[in-house]
Amino acid sequence: MASSQYPQETFLSVKLSPGSFMEKKRHAASSASLKQQLGFLKSTGRYEAFKLKWLPAYDEPPAVWPIGNWLFWDSDIGKWIEGACYFLHTDYDAEVDAAVQELTDMLAGAQHEDGYLNLHYSIVEPTKNRFTNIRDFCELYNAGHLLEGALAHQHYYKNDKLLGPMIKYVELMIKTFGPGKDQLHAYPGHPELEIALLRLHERTKDPRHLELARYFITERGNPKGVDGRHYYDWEADKRGDDPNARPYFYPERTPSNWYYSASVPLVEMQGVEGHSVRPMYLLTAVADMVRMDQKSTTDLQKAIVRLWDDMVGKKMYVTGGIGSIPQYEGFGIPYFLPQGTDEGGCYAETCAAIGIMMMVERVLQYDLDGSFTDIMELAFYNAVLTAISTDGRKYTYVNQLASSDANAADRSEWFKCCCCPPNIMRTLAIIGGYICSEPASIKPEDKHIAVHLYAPSTLEFTVCGQPSKLTQATDWPWSGDVTFALETASKTVSISLRIPQWTSEWSIEPEPPHRNVQKGYLTLPGDWLAANPSFILKVKLDVRMLAPHPLVNTDTVALARGPIVYCVEDMDNSWVEDHFKSLQLDPDAEVVERPTVDRTTDEKYVALDVYRGSSLLPTKSLKAQPSVPWKTLAKEAADANVIDVLHFVPYYFHSNRGGKGMMRTGIRRWVR
Amino acid sequence: MASSQYPQETFLSVKLSPGSFMEKKRHAASSASLKQQLGFLKSTGRYEAFKLKWLPAYDEPPAVWPIGNWLFWDSDIGKWIEGACYFLHTDYDAEVDAAVQELTDMLAGAQHEDGYLNLHYSIVEPTKNRFTNIRDFCELYNAGHLLEGALAHQHYYKNDKLLGPMIKYVELMIKTFGPGKDQLHAYPGHPELEIALLRLHERTKDPRHLELARYFITERGNPKGVDGRHYYDWEADKRGDDPNARPYFYPERTPSNWYYSASVPLVEMQGVEGHSVRPMYLLTAVADMVRMDQKSTTDLQKAIVRLWDDMVGKKMYVTGGIGSIPQYEGFGIPYFLPQGTDEGGCYAETCAAIGIMMMVERVLQYDLDGSFTDIMELAFYNAVLTAISTDGRKYTYVNQLASSDANAADRSEWFKCCCCPPNIMRTLAIIGGYICSEPASIKPEDKHIAVHLYAPSTLEFTVCGQPSKLTQATDWPWSGDVTFALETASKTVSISLRIPQWTSEWSIEPEPPHRNVQKGYLTLPGDWLAANPSFILKVKLDVRMLAPHPLVNTDTVALARGPIVYCVEDMDNSWVEDHFKSLQLDPDAEVVERPTVDRTTDEKYVALDVYRGSSLLPTKSLKAQPSVPWKTLAKEAADANVIDVLHFVPYYFHSNRGGKGMMRTGIRRWVR
């Protein structure tokens, strides 16, 4: 079993270079998001909720029936504590420190005698009802986030003030859930606790922590879980639910166990479905379990690959975002990927993209495969980074690829269901931990470092007790040149460099010993590195016109350069009136790169311009009719007025400079 | 006020030429469908239902909660009686005659003392609950179809055995519904009764029949109908409905009054929405009311045009079908027109297309505008005719444009909810009545005949008491040459010929007095006709490649020739394995016409062949990834293996010859 390399801990070994792209994003989170979110925790009631006083919010009707608006508050607190503890290591702040300690005291004070800890069933609904709506009321999801917060808390404070109570809660769960006669054969409606339990196991080595996670994972979707029935169906009947009273997020009938990634056991599941965050969190845990115990989990490992291929090939946007259906925040049918809500749907929730990163990071620990890393990079630079403003004070929850009148491109300071902002905050806190990992080496005295992401940074590590360093100097993602410097006394340090599949050309100076890229990584052996401790990787940041899979039925092209996907925004193209719906782009048009520093945000990026390669389809001349002769359309397209210059900005950068909220990623293909 | 020209009566003046296209379709309905449907009425319990004995069917759970599976049985009986009475005029059959008379007796026998007549509330649910679920339980919809059946019954039998009871029922409705303090301010959940009441008014001239229809039409969608609330919301509360218990056909929350075309009053409605049959039936009645009383209904007339343009320009398939969302059998958002259920949805219900024909026929009576007629013709030849097999024994309810594994292209003998088969049967019975109409002339002694559809037929009419005839000889829709012969002693008969907008070329021999086409019709004056009683209209049946509106985001082309839209089917293209999903068609390819008589069905048609103008996109080489470089796609498309010959058949003809159920209408556009 390989040892854990959770970025939640390894990030401390990585120093991001001040002022660099990645460091600026992390700095925005530490210097702005952290306290801005603390302010909202306080003003919305979450902060003091565990004092268990009745709050006016509990009287509000649910925005998404039957889910009370406060049902996820525990998780918001858990994620904030988690992120705060990471930042306390590197960016100490007394107010944050005090808040974490006060929250810790309040949480400990709210714990029941038997270890139970949950806001809703302690104050809003009678305690006796706990664990009666495992499917929808998210007690176990909340517990997972509190447990992850407690792990970060212990790591920073070196005490058990939060982890102690959480382990006591886990003890209650070990009693409550399992295959035993008197136990509930349940599993979290929203996976997350599984992730936390495996990380807890890694710290405690208590086999019961692993066992509970394994039970949750393998019992999930069992059609005959209780009395020959699916647990969620059995539970709903026990509650006396009216089968026709459908939660708002069910488009069709009850039961809708597909929504929870629980229609069938994972090993039988053929594709991702339902709410898009759930399978990502579930697969993160599954991948971690596979790493811990590969021999017993071949079918689970196959399931990861099967669901991954289904998702990446049929249900993922060009930005790495997933989920096209707003109603249930989830996956549509294969190849159903409209760019906006007025074209059929687009959701691409931030938390789901974070889930992709978490899942890939776990997979890479047992399977160093660049096809996973490429998607992690894609999701990070586009689907995740777009969700936080350059100043760290505003967020997106939904990451649509095109705006519309009903859903303008904009950002918010907070959301009623506020899972995404603290999630991106805690992710950026540990982003350094995603850059590299150490795959298991054959000989324990060897060291093998795999570089997944390129970013100016210094990784510190030890080989045979000797402190060593690996430094990257680069202007990535705007330049593809990365200068590496390895400082070590050892000659057995090998390095694997990810060669992105999107590049057409790469080289290493001095000439590497071979160019044998295996599963997306080029491995430089220790002897060559000993002779060449400093070397430059040059990756061509090709500008590419990307089309969705042809079966997507959306005849568009999106611009990308290196790992960055671009969009058009009204700020740079002020003539736009229709959210760029009628804009056409020649996929063979020449694209000009324009290094830029935006004045209002101080954001540095490479803008892209297309001169005389785009036009507006004159749709006004079309009469109301159910079809248009192709020849008429072709003539209209050919005669369309050419736009002198069309300006593109990185997709992640949209909605940072004001404007009227018009944005589009994939542009209609112009055949001229 | 112009006098009525309902095709339900005028069809008797039109003799379809034996063996001609239209006559063969009508003959299939009279010789096969009529008795085949009678058989199913009997075997399913519908026939004897009005004896009011308990049937096992009433114990079955509803397929579409909360709608009991028998809730529309009254309408099935009504439509069958209606169609049967039309056919009795022209194709007398003793068994049919006896069945109509027996049904009439059973219906009369089931009527309550006060005139009420409804199956559900007479046997399944207590009588006292009647008119408590106007929104969903379709009492008024059923009453409308029974009333239309009764009008046809009186017309054939010249007695009031059915119309008498129905008028008694209408008397009860006049008492029950209206603006009065003690009246219900309700209107049919599913429009239809409005159509029937206006036709009844035309026969009885009773102003109260018009008034009730007007009340239903104008009260519909009133946000403050009862106690300051929408009638349907008020009614639901009165029933004590759980607001979270959603009918299966609501994708989102209750109330969903948009589903019923009742979100706002019609004059405020900006676009068609919800269940697609309802607005068509509603607008049919509205158009009839506009004809009767144009001065008071300017806003209604504007609403017709506004909703029509919205529907035709943004929500209609190339076949004339409407409705892309299966769950609620209705309209999607604008430009959301996937071709099949595995691409996001496709419904195009037969009854909705019949509704288009009914609506247009009513509009043409006060506004002779070929842009309406073109769509009526499109819907008839494609969206309606496809719904009945060539032998008249099998039907489609849903008219998808492309098949899929889950929804193969096929036909059924019957449906649990069986609105469509008797609807198409009763429509074909009177199809001759759709060919021509007589717009109001300025001078009463003048005669003006508008020819909407071309079909071998003889129209008989009188001018100043003199019997006259207008004969069409043609092989339409396979040939565009139509030879007209006018036999009349009068010199004041003028004829307007529809010039389809889809043709690029037309002529009349001998040379007509002018070529001044107004709103799609060319009017030949009486003096020219007196000198040229025989003339030939030549309309070029252009073969066209039709694309959907560019905002539809479906980059496909469909083949059409004249009014006929084509599809590809596995019977002619046996290599297909993927429902033609990866098929690409060059929109500039040459198309070869091939006159055909199919051996198995004896159907005569012009097949279309494309030689070396199509190919299969090799999707297998695409790895699982969220995008494809455009250049890769373009190269794959260019290198695709060319198909030697691709065979097309008329869309209406699909699924008549067996096969594996693979069919597609719009083909991916091939850029080579």
What pLDDT, in 10s, does the model give residues B483-496?
999 999 999 999 99
Contact: B344, A334; criterion CB under 8 Å: no
Q: Nearest CA of chain A to the CA of B559: how many Å?
A: 10
Worst-scoring range by mean pLDDT, A258-267, A359-368, A625-634, B425-434? A625-634
What is the DSSP pairing of strand B604-616 with strand B642-650? Answer: antiparallel
Between the alpha carbon of residue A557 and those of residues A98, A339, A614, B671, the distances in Å are 50, 12, 12, 15
Q: Do B334 and A317 touch (CB under 8 A)?
A: no
Q: What residues in B contact A504, CB-CB < 8 Å?
A: none
The rounded radius of gyration (Å) of the Cα atoms in chain A is 25
Which of B318, B344, B545 is closest, CB to CB, to A344? Answer: B344
pLDDT level of residue A1 (50, 70, 90 thresholds): very low
In chain B, which residues have their Cβ closer than 8 Å to the Cβ of A581?
551
- Rounded to the nearest angstrom, the minimum Cα separation between A244 and chain B is 5
Pick from A547, A581, A631: CB nearest B628? A547
pLDDT score for B639: 84
Angstrom distances, CA of residue A315 to CA of A2, A318, A549: 32, 10, 10
Q: Which residues of A touch B550 (CB under 8 A)?
A: 582, 617, 619, 628, 633, 668
Residues of A in contact with B546 (CB under 8 A): 627-630
Q: What is the pLDDT of residues B7-31, one digit of tens each?
A: 999 999 999 999 999 999 999 999 9
Distance of CA B244 to the CA centre of its chain: 34
Q: Letter for the amino acid at A531? A: A
| pLDDT value for A621 | 64
What does the pLDDT look like over B406-431, one tens digit per residue? Answer: 999 999 999 999 999 999 999 999 99
Q: Is the confidence at residue B336, as pLDDT, over 90?
A: yes
Interface contact flag, A624 B313, Cβ < 8 Å: yes
- % of chain B at pLDDT higher than 70: 98
Mean pLDDT, residues B205-223 taken together:
97
Please give the pLDDT value at position B294: 65
The pLDDT value recorded for residue A295 is: 60
Give the model's pLDDT for residue A441.
Answer: 66
**8 Å CB contact of A251 and B327:** yes
CB-CB under 8 Å, A630 with B549: no
What is the separation, in whole angstroms, between the first and last Cα of chain A? Answer: 58
pLDDT value, residue A293: 79
Question: What pLDDT does residue A465 have?
Answer: 87
User: Would the CB atoms of A336 and B344 count as touching at under 8 Å?
Assistant: yes
Q: Looking at beta carbons, which residues of chain A come within 8 Å of B548?
A: 626-628
With tokens 């429009």, the residue in question is: B191
Of residues A66, A343, A633, nearest to B550 (C-beta): A633
The alpha-helical segments, DSSP class H, found in A44-138 are 73-90, 94-110
Location of each CATH 1.50.10.10 domain in chain A? 7-434
Q: What is the CATH number of domain A7-434?
A: 1.50.10.10
Q: Give the E-state strand segments of B531-671 in sequence order.
A: 534-539, 543-547, 556-561, 564-569, 583-585, 591-597, 604-616, 628-629, 642-650, 663-664, 667-669
Torsion of CA B257, B258, B264, B267, to 10 degrees: -140
SS3 A333: coil
Burial class (CB in 10 A: 0-12, 13-18, 19+), B369: middle
Contact check, Cβ <8 Å, A553/B555? yes
* C-beta atoms of A626 and B251 within 8 A: no
Q: For residue B247, what is the nearest residue in chain A, using CA coordinates?
A: A244
Q: Give the residue from A457, A477, A421 showing the smallest Cα distance to A79.
A: A421
Residue A294 has pLDDT above 70, yes or no: no
Q: How near does any CA of chain B get to the CA of A395, in Å?
A: 24
CA distance A608 to chain B (A): 17
Q: How far is A66 from chain B (nearest CA, A)?
A: 9
The answer for residues whose C-beta is within 8 angstroms of residue A325's C-beta and 6 or more apart is: A251, A331, A332, A345, A347
Record: contact B619-A555, CB cut-off 8 A:
no
Written as one string, the DSSP assignment of A238-288 is HHT--TTB--TT-SSPSP-GGGGT-SS-GGG--S--SBSHHHHHHHHHHHH
Mean confidence (pLDDT) of chain A = 96
Beta bridge partners of B344: none
Map residue B667 onto helix, strand or coil: strand
Chain B residue whose CA is closest to A625: B313
> Is the per-residue pLDDT at B1 higher than 50?
no
Residue B657, token pair as written in the block: 């010859």
Whole-angstrom distance, CA of residue B468 vs CA of residue B483: 17
Tell me the CA distances in angstroms from B337 to B251, B317, B342, B528, B561, one per residue in order.
Answer: 18, 7, 12, 46, 22
Q: How far is the C-alpha of B115 from the C-alpha of B107, rounded, in Å?
A: 11
Chain B residues touching residue A587 (CB < 8 angstroms): 630-631, 634
CA-based nearest residue in chain A for residue B552 = A343
Residues A255-277 have a mean pLDDT of 97
d(CA A216, CA A260): 13
Which residues of B are less than 8 Å from A256 in CB distance?
none
Q: Which of A344, A375, A560 sits opposite B336 (nearest CB)?
A: A344
Looking at residue B162, what is its pLDDT?
98
Q: Cβ contacts (< 8 Å) between B346 and chain A: which residues?
A: none
Tokens (6 digits) for B472: 């069409």
Chain position carrying tokens 């006159």: B595
Q: Say whether pLDDT at B37 is over 80.
A: yes
Nearest CA in chain A to B309: A624
Place of tokens 């996956």: A331
- Class level of CATH domain B7-12+21-434: mainly alpha
Query: For the ranges A3-12, A426-435, A604-613, B42-51, which has the lowest average pLDDT?
Result: A3-12
Over range B636-653, report the average pLDDT. 93
Distance of alpha carbon A470 from alpha carbon B669, whole angstroms? 52
Contact check, Cβ <8 Å, A546/B344 = no
- How many alpha carbons fall within 13 Å on the CB side of residue A222? 19
pLDDT at B2: 46
Residue B385: pLDDT band with limits 50, 70, 90: very high
User: DSSP 3-state assignment of B173?
Assistant: helix
Q: Which of A490, A472, A468, A494 is nearest to A481 (CA)?
A: A472
Which chain A residues are within 8 Å of B671, Cβ to Cβ? 671
Q: Got the DSSP string for B35-72?
A: HHHHHHHHHTTTTTGGG----GGGGSPPSBTTB-TTTT
CATH 2.60.420 residue spans of chain A: 438-539
Cβ-defined contact of B627 to A581 (cutoff 8 Å): no
| pLDDT, tens digit (0-9, with 9 covering 90-100), for B429-458 | 999 999 999 987 667 778 999 999 999 999
Residue in chain A closest to B616 (alpha carbons) equals: A550
Interface contact flag, B547 A628, Cβ < 8 Å: yes
- Chain A CB contacts of B634 below 8 Å: 587
Inter-chain residue contact A252 with B248, CB threshold 8 Å: yes
Min CA distance, B357 vs chain A (Å)? 15
Nearest residue of A to residue B624, measured between CA atoms = A313
| Residues of chain A contacting B581 with CB distance shorter than 8 Å | 551
- Amino acid identity for residue A67 in this structure: I
Query: Contact at 8 Å (CB) between A110 and A122?
Result: yes
The predicted structure's pLDDT at residue A3: 57
pLDDT score of A139: 97
Give the nearest partner residue to B546 out of A343, A371, A630, using CB atoms. Answer: A630
Contact B545 A633 (CB under 8 A): no
Closest B-chain CA to A243: B245
Question: How many A/B residue pairs have CB atoms within 8 Å?
Answer: 175
Residue contact B344–A342, C-beta within 8 A = no
Contact B428, B421 (CB under 8 A): no
Q: Is 70 exceeded by the pLDDT of residue A14?
A: yes
Q: Would the pLDDT of A24 be above 60?
A: yes
What span, in angstroms and rounded, lies between the C-alpha atoms of A81 and A354? 18
Report the C-alpha gap between A483 and A449 in whole angstroms: 16
A316·B626 Cβ contact <8 A: yes
Q: Taking residues B259-282, report their average pLDDT.
A: 98
Q: What pLDDT is attached to residue A2? A: 46
Q: What is the pLDDT of residue B651?
A: 98
User: Contact B550/A335, CB-based, under 8 Å?
Assistant: no
DSSP B452: -
Q: How confident is the model at residue A137 (pLDDT cuts 50, 70, 90)?
A: very high
* CB contact (8 A) between residue A627 and residue B547: yes
**DSSP state, residue B229:** B
Domain with CATH 1.50.10.10 in chain B: 7-12+21-434
Residue the block writes with tokens 């649509």: A400
> For the segment B172-209, what is each residue's pLDDT rounded down to a tens digit?
999 999 999 999 999 999 999 999 999 999 999 999 99
| Per-residue pLDDT reduced to its tens digit, A468-498 | 999 999 999 999 999 999 999 999 999 999 9
Do the chains contact at A630 and B252, CB–CB below 8 Å?
no
How far A451 CA sits from the closest chain B CA (Å)?
22
Contact (CB<8Å) A551/B619:
yes
Closest by Cβ to A248, choosing from B242, B253, B310? B253
- CA distance from start to end of chain B: 58
Task: Give pLDDT tens digits for A411-467.
Answer: 999 999 999 999 999 999 999 999 999 987 667 778 999 999 999 999 999 998 899
For position B548, what pLDDT does the model report? 94
Query: Do B340 and B398 form a contact (C-beta atoms < 8 A)?
Result: no
Residue type for position B124:
V
Q: Does domain B438-539 fall into CATH 1.10.10?
A: no
B contact test, residue of A627, A628, A669, A670 with most B CBs within 10 A: A627
Give me the mean pLDDT over the A209-232 stretch: 97
At residue A663, the 3 state secondary structure works out as: strand
Q: Return the SS3 of A15.
A: strand
Nearest to B335 by CA among A326, A553, A660: A553
